[in-house]
Amino acid sequence: ALLAATPNPDYQLMDKPTSEKDITSYNNYYEFGTGKSDPFENAHKLQTRPWTVSVEGEVARPRTFDIDDLLKLAPIEERVYRLRCVEAWSMVIPWSGYSLSTLLKAVEPTSKAKFVEFTTVVQKDNMPGVGSRIIDWPYVEGLRIDEAMHPLAMLVLGVYGKQLPNQNGAPLRLVVPWKYGFKSGKSIVKIRLLENMPMTSWVKIAPQEYGFYANVNPQVPHPRWSQATERRIGDGFFAPRVDTLMYNGYAEQVASLYEGMDLRKNY
């Protein structure tokens, strides 16, 4: 289904957008299997209606939003963001949605709200991947409150002018463009504001490989590969890899969030 979105001139890129076919057929969504084409093949079973998102925890006005409320909460903007996967590939994607801060402000976080936790849906009968033990389902991700309130952090409801395809995290997902893709949880059903840093799925699985922050950083290699360069999806068979940018090219906007932090320790 179409999703009308107005391009936001503040968030456009010179980079050529990745094709819709590549964006919707090459995905990491382990609930549907670990292969890159598994989500495309299996995600049609996901039930995306009815859908509610409960926003709770350290907030003055906890509330359960219906997906239709969220589609109307703010004007839908189109923003073209770079997406950098921790596996060293990247895309350029025209997302539709609005800043996550719009939703968070609606529930009025208290002064105790220091972190935000995002929980992905689990539909056992519809998700062939949740039978495996790779992740202790449901998939959980988190942000620091100042990261979550940053205007770049986006609540996404569509891509390429259409409602999100299931394999991309329908009916709504998070997109945090300066962090590795796994931070951007898909098919979100619960958002909790917390005083303490939540335990997130990949930190639980392999803390030596995946940190809570997971900011894109070409200078800090993953233990099993370099993060200095990336393969831009769709660039062709013999295209050279491109240099990875600090904070995925969003350093100007977000570097101040991490001032004084040792990025080698807080990877």
Nearer to other proteins (CB atom), residue 169 or residue 171: 169
Residue range at the interface with other proteins (CB under 8 A); choices 113-121, 153-161, 186-194, 216-224: 216-224
Please state, in angstroms and rounded to a whole number, the distance separating the CA atoms of residues 8 and 23: 20
Site for other proteins in 245-264 (CB under 8 A): none
Shortest spacing between CB 117 and other proteins, in angstroms: 22
Instruction: Determine, following the binding rule CB under 8 A, whether residue 133 of this chain makes contact with other proteins.
Output: yes
Instruction: Determine, following the binding rule CB under 8 A, whether residue 226 of this chain makes contact with other proteins.
Output: yes
Q: Name residues whose C-beta falls within 8 Å of residue 119's C-beta, 6 or more positions apart in sequence.
A: 138, 139, 140, 185, 188, 189, 190, 191, 192
Q: Where are the beta strands (DSSP E) in the chain?
A: 6-7, 52-57, 63-66, 77-84, 89-99, 115-120, 140-144, 154-159, 162-163, 173-175, 188-194, 229-232, 242-243
Binding pattern for the stretch 150-189 against other proteins, x by CB under 8 A and - elsewhere = ----------------------------------------
Residue range at the interface with other proteins (CB under 8 A); choices 49-57, 115-123, 168-176, 227-235: 227-235
127 and 48 in contact (C-beta within 8 Å)? Answer: no
Applying CB under 8 A, which residues contact other proteins? 18, 21-22, 25-26, 34, 36-37, 89, 132-135, 205-206, 209, 221, 223-226, 231, 233-234, 237, 240-241
